Amino acid sequence: MKVSELVNRAGYRVFCEGEDREIENGYCGDFLSNIISRAPENCAWLTVMNNVNVAAVAVLIDCACIILCEGTEPDGPLFERAKMQGLWVLGSAKDVFLTAKEVSALCGI
């Protein structure tokens, strides 16, 4: 499923739009070194981290989108960097576990 389709079906808030890529997998985490070493490319990365380092890691792992969970919103530097780098940054009011279940069910992963 493409990121835009996930947004439409799940109703996530869109903070920034990027390339409309296929979501092939998911990864949940906030410990950046784990994400760098373990997250698969083209994943939906679920996190509650909202600083500029998230954009750097998202580019490094080549994720399809970032989903900020638990009502988290990007801080100013993350928002600006995500816009500049063309990253999808989405928002879910649900906790990470429930958001992961939802993404998995909708995307068939």
2-15 mean pLDDT: 98
Is residue 11 very low, low, confident or very high in pLDDT (cuts 50, 70, 90)? very high
Quick: pLDDT tens for 21-79.
999 999 999 999 999 999 999 999 999 999 999 999 999 999 999 999 999 999 999 99
Closest CA to 65 of 102, 39, 90, 84: 90
Spacing of C-alpha 90 from chain mean position? 6
- Residue 57 tokens read as 């890691």
CA distance 38 to 29: 10
Report if pTM > 0.85.
Answer: yes
CA distance 4 to 7: 5
CA distance 44 to 96: 12
